[in-house]
């Protein structure tokens, strides 16, 4: 039936998109593996994993709640912008202090979680934490250009630019 084809088409596109997203998310590790040793890649992987784990534990349930909520606001641009701005401010207010603390205490955190043999990953961890804190308040959703042509150009650029912290995702898709 027509509806069955639509579901299969959507499922196929979703699967392709997920596979492509995985490849993009791991491109940093692939490049590090090509140009550096397995040991250095291990330090990077540990630092990245330690940094992302608590964030994902907080952000995953929040995303599960806010996406349906925001979908109810899709007909009211003003209400949508107001609510999403509040979420950005709250999440940024939590994320930035966490990242700064994590960067400052990177050695102690890594020694506590994985042991002293992984301490060489502490500088990488600090760098990732500081780099991850920077974008928290960088772009507000209500920052829309008055000229529609400039807005389209800006959106296209943000889809093409890649985030070095979020495993090569586009700036738009960046975690």
Q: pLDDT digits over 49-102, tens only?
A: 887 777 777 777 777 777 677 777 767 777 877 887 787 778 778 888 888 898
Residue 19 phi/psi, 5-degree rounding, is -65, -45
Task: Copy the structure tokens of residue 73.
Answer: 């606001």
CA 4, CA 7: separation in Å to the nearest integer? 5
**Residue located via tokens 């791991």:** 26
pLDDT tens digits for 116-149? 988 988 888 888 888 777 666 655 555 555 566 6
* pLDDT at residue 169 in the model: 64
Cα–Cα distances in angstroms (integers) from residue 119 to residues 46, 77, 98, 128, 129, in the given order: 10, 48, 20, 15, 15
The confidence score (pLDDT) of residue 118 equals: 86
55 contacts 63 by C-beta, under 8 angstroms: no
Spatial distance between the Cα atoms of 174 and 163, rounded to a whole number of angstroms: 6
Is 111 a residue whose pLDDT tops 80? yes
C-alpha dihedral over 75, 78, 83, 89, to 10 degrees?
Answer: 140
Q: 164 pLDDT exceeds 70?
A: no
Global pTM value: 0.53
How many Cβ atoms from other residues are within 10 Å of residue 66's Cβ? 15
Q: Average pLDDT for residues 20-24, to the nearest whole number? A: 69
- Helices and strands per DSSP (H, E), number in the chain: 7, 0
Report the pLDDT value the prediction gives residue 167, as an integer from 0 to 100.
Answer: 58
Whose CA is closest to 86, among 72, 98, 70, 101?
70
């Amino acid at each position: 039936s027509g509806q069955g084809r639509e579901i299969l088409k959507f499922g196929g596109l979703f699967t392709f998109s997920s596979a492509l997203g995985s490849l993009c998310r791991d491109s940093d590790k692939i490049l590090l593996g090509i140009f550096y040793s397995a040991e250095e890649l291990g330090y990077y992987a540990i630092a990245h994993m330690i940094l992302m784990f608590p964030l994902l534990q907080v952000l995953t349930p929040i995303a599960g709640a806010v996406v349906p909520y925001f979908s109810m606001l899709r007909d009211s641009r003003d209400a949508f912008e107001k609510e999403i701005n509040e979420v950005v401010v709250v999440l940024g207010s939590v994320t930035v202090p966490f990242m700064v603390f994590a960067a400052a205490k990177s050695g102690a955190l890594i020694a506590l979680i994985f042991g002293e043999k992984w301490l060489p990953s502490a500088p990488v961890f600090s760098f990732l934490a500081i780099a991850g804190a920077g974008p928290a308040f960088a772009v507000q959703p209500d920052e829309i250009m008055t000229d529609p042509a400039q807005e389209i150009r800006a959106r296209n650029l943000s889809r093409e630019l890649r985030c070095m912290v979020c495993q090569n995702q586009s700036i738009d898709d960046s975690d």
